[in-house]
Amino acid sequence: MVSELDSGGNVLNELASAGGAEVQANGEVRANDAAAGADGSETQEKAGKNGPEASQTTRLHRPPILSMTPEELGQWLEARGEPRYRLRQVLHWIFTQPVESFDQMTDIPKTLRRELARAFRMWTTRVLEHLKAEDGTEKLLLRLMDGQTVECVLLRDDKGHRTACISTQVGCAMQCAFCASGLGGFVRNLSAFEILEQLLHLKRLLPGKERLTHIVVMGMGEPLVNLKNLLKALELATSTAGLGISGRRVTISTVGIPPAIDRLAESGKPYHLAISLHAPTDALRNRLVPANEKIGIRAIMAAADRYFAKTGRRVTFEYVLLAGVNDRPEHATALANLLRNRTALVNLIPYNPVPGLNFRTPSPARVHRFVEVLREAGLNVRVRFRKGVRIDAACGQLRRRLAGGSAEGVPCEQPKPEEISSEYSLPADSHPESSPQMEAPCSESELSQPQDASVRA
């Protein structure tokens, strides 16, 4: 256990140092002054006479109203002589029917609206670009107060699900070879209110009485590096006082940081855990996910086993299929050996091409054969539809395109695909040790062909 914690801590320190940040004792990464914001400062100011402290306000005279918990906002209102029901009214205009300004809170007295506007900011982000695809996917590029940008996506399906995909960092330090988010390096963590505002912007895209039903934390950044702020944001997102989304409909995706996975398990929240594995061996994963060099698949699998034992929640293993790199039958066999006897779901993701990277999407026949090998081994497998392909829906693509192919931060050297592909010949027994879990795999879902989408105004 100590070696696994040390391993996770070492890689966090190294990656954070590369991205202009420092690691706290609890494993959180805090951006240093050079990366905290455009003016290089991070202040804490009072939200009014009776308000709480708000972090990352970047010299705000008015802190964001989302920096307050409902309890703190209730105290603020009570101190001004407002009746108890006033809190419910204000929260309605923040979460149930998000408005652009306090002035639009029509059932609130004008005097209180003015006082709220003097004390708080309604929004700290604004929509810089809004793209739509024919399959219903919508993507927003948001500008933050320090001039940085992040992305969030609204996903729709024919079951009525309305899923918000959100970011937790500006940039990313994990340096995954095939991902657009890390190409500009790591800049800083998002605050809890910046994470929440993504959800509210996406909610505003829904017509009528539609509501967000699911959250996937699969946007820009490594969520478990910013776990404290993420959990604070999700607390409101899943609260009846907030967005009221069931915690069982929240999925957090990570490259695999064992100490942070353990903290997530200890939080007692019913969130789903998804581990971005992408390779069945350390030799290949070290090239695709450089953070793995200081962690290792064995430590990640042990943390996943502990998460399942603690929460009873099945762990999903995400695997981006890269043509000629990790998509051969022998890779599927090694992955099946790694996950054998585990209660797990394999989520296969045919690669979504990123301009500037030479990886390719495998053919449908290659994807189908990979699935066959896994299912013949008794694994539960799904193939994720590719949504919003023509609106740069994969995380980091839109931000990178609008920045002219680059973003501020520390650049990450990318391994060449031809170097990585040399790893695809795997011996049959080339896999880390696996450990059993009690439950049998869940029922399989049908393999579907990737869907394309085109842009509409």
Which residues form the catalytic set?
A: 151, 395
> Are 139 and 153 in contact, with CB atoms under 8 Å apart?
yes
Alpha carbons within 13 angstroms on the beta-carbon side of residue 369 total 12
Cα Rg of the chain (Å, integer): 22
289: left (phi over 0), alpha (psi -120 to 50) or beta: beta
Q: How are the residues of the chain apportioned to helix, strand and coil, as percentages rounded to the nearest 5?
A: 35, 15, 45
- The 10 Å Cβ neighbour count of residue 428 is 9
| Of 252, 142, 139, 155, residue with least CA distance to 190 | 142
- Residue 263 contacts residue 300 (beta carbons within 8 Å): no
Q: In which residue are the tokens 């399959």 written?
A: 135
Query: Considering only CA atoms, which of 198, 234, 260 is closest in space to residue 15?
Result: 260
Angle of the 258-266 helix axis to the 297-311 helix axis, nearest 10: 0
Q: Residue 65 and residue 249: Cα distance in Å, rounded?
A: 26
Phi-psi region of 216 (alpha: psi -120 to 50; beta: other; left: phi over 0): beta
Cα distance between residue 9 and residue 3, in whole Å: 10
The two three-digit tokens of residue 316, written as one number: 């999903």
The four Cα atoms 402, 254, 173, 297 give a dihedral, to 10 degrees, of -140
Find all residues with CB under 8 Å of 78, minimum gap 6, and list them: 84
Phi/psi at 156 (5° precision)? -120, 150
Amino acid present at 356: G
Cα dihedral across residues 144, 455, 276, 279: positive or negative: negative
